């Protein structure tokens, strides 16, 4: 990258923050608490992203048996453990730092429950699938914390969940092209990350305080979603002298298709949603196992 003035280093068109939304707590599932940033009225849909929840769950709360069709769910554990079970007999644990990338496709029915008595928290992102991919076979990709691509340089650490950063690529296959990076910046550190021009992009702050997009902007606190405008990259600074900054940077290629959502079913038309409700009710077209299955 070329030097420049130190502002928006190397980018022909640096992305700036065009919207900031503080995610407040709400209850979801069975007694679970989530901070929803995408999927509420302020940011209903950030194509291809349907929902971003920062969830905090203590037993007996959780997300008992429920269906999905037409999109992917990406669960990234920040603390504690979740256990998942589905109607095809798949079962597993997602521990701190692990990622479960679930392509629901034509249909999954599953339960997602906390597995420790303490705090179990993480991020769940819903990524839409294109009309061509909505009815594909369900698939899981698991990325364990110890297998995750990680780089540290000049006070910046990145965990590469999807896409590429600082020369490291994630093995996760993204059917809808997606970048998902978890950054930790030591006090005084800065990072300049390129992002494909036509993609929608956002930042969600987890810890500390960060300056994003332009060096003159004010520091942003945890639980804020920052929607980025157009451009080829974004700059980020930790101006604190004592606190670590942690945030995720997520970007995706927009699908530019109609979206009709009915809770956990996301299709292109209302006729397809009506069909999906019937399929789930009668156990057809991918929901064959739904009629009799219950989680343990
Ligand atoms: C869902 C209500 C829900 N955010 N974060 C309605 F709560 C859910 C749901 C989740 C969820 C699960 C986890 Cl592990 C983390 C979440 C919402 O399961 F799918 C619908 N339709
Ligand atoms: Fe789910």
Which ligand 1 atom minimizes the distance to the CA of 32?
A: 7
**pLDDT, position 10:** 84
**CA quadruple 158, 159, 165, 171: dihedral, nearest 10:** 170
| Full set of structural domains in the chain with CATH | 17-252 (2.60.120.10)
Ligand nearest to the CA of 56: 1
Which ligand 1 atom minimizes the distance to the CA of 28?
A: 7
List C-alpha distances in Å: 217 to 3, 116, 212, 258.
21, 40, 7, 35
Ligand nearest to the CA of 107: 2
Ligand nearest to the CA of 125: 1
Which ligand 1 atom minimizes the distance to the CA of 29?
A: 7
**pLDDT, position 27:** 97
- Report how far ligand 2's centroid is from the alpha carbon of 68 (Å): 7
Ligand 1 atom 4, closest CA: 53
Going residue by residue through the chain, which has 296 residues, state the pLDDT in tens, using 9 for 90 and above: 433 334 447 899 999 999 999 999 999 999 999 999 999 999 999 999 999 999 999 999 999 999 999 999 999 999 999 999 999 999 999 999 999 999 999 999 999 999 999 999 999 999 999 999 999 999 999 999 999 999 999 999 999 999 999 999 999 999 999 999 999 999 999 999 999 999 999 999 999 999 999 999 999 999 999 999 999 999 999 999 999 999 999 999 999 999 999 999 999 999 999 999 999 999 999 999 999 999 99
Question: pTM (2 decimals)?
Answer: 0.97
Ligand 1 shell residues, CB under 6 Å: 28-29, 34, 53, 55, 63, 66, 75, 82, 112, 124, 263-264
The residue written with tokens 């502002």 in the block is 7
Measured distance CA(37)–CA(111) in Å, rounded: 23
According to DSSP, the residues that pair with 184 across neighbouring strands are 157, 246
- Report how far ligand 1's centroid is from the alpha carbon of 258 (Å): 22
Measured distance CA(40)–CA(20) in Å, rounded: 13
Q: Please state, as a whole number, how many other Cβ atoms lie within 10 Å of the Cβ of residue 18.
A: 12
Ligand 1 atom 7, closest CA: 29
């Amino acid at each position: 990258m070329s030097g420049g003035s130190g502002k928006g280093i190397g980018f022909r068109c640096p992305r700036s923050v065009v919207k900031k939304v503080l995610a407040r707590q709400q209850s979801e599932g069975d007694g679970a608490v989530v901070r929803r940033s995408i999927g509420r009225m302020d940011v209903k849909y950030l194509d291809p992203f349907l929902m971003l929840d920062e969830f905090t769950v203590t037993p007996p709360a959780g997300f008992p048996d429920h269906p999905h069709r037409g999109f992917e769910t990406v669960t990234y554990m920040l603390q504690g453990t979740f256990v998942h079970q589905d109607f095809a007999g798949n079962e597993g644990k997602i521990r701190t730092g692990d990622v479960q990338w679930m392509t629901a496709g034509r249909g999954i029915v599953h339960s997602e429950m906390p597995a420790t008595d303490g705090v179990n928290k993480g991020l769940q992102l819903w990524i839409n699938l294109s009309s061509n991919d909505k009815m594909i076979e369900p698939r899981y990709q698991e990325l364990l914390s110890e297998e995750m691509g990680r780089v540290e340089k000049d006070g910046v650490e990145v965990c590469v969940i999807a896409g590429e950063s600082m020369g490291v690529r994630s093995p996760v296959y993204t059917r809808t092209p997606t970048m998902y990076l978890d950054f930790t910046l030591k006090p005084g550190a800065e990072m300049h990350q390129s992002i494909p021009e036509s993609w929608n992009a956002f930042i969600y702050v987890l810890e500390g305080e960060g300056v994003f997009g332009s060096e003159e902007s004010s520091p942003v606190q945890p639980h804020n979603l920052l929607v980025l405008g157009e451009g080829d990259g974004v700059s980020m600074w930790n101006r604190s002298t004592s606190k670590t900054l942690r945030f995720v940077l997520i970007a995706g290629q927009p699908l530019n298709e109609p979206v009709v959502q009915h809770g956990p079913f996301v299709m292109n038309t209302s006729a397809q949603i009506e069909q999906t409700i019937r399929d789930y009710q009668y156990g057809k077209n991918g929901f064959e196992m739904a009629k009799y299955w219950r989680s343990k």
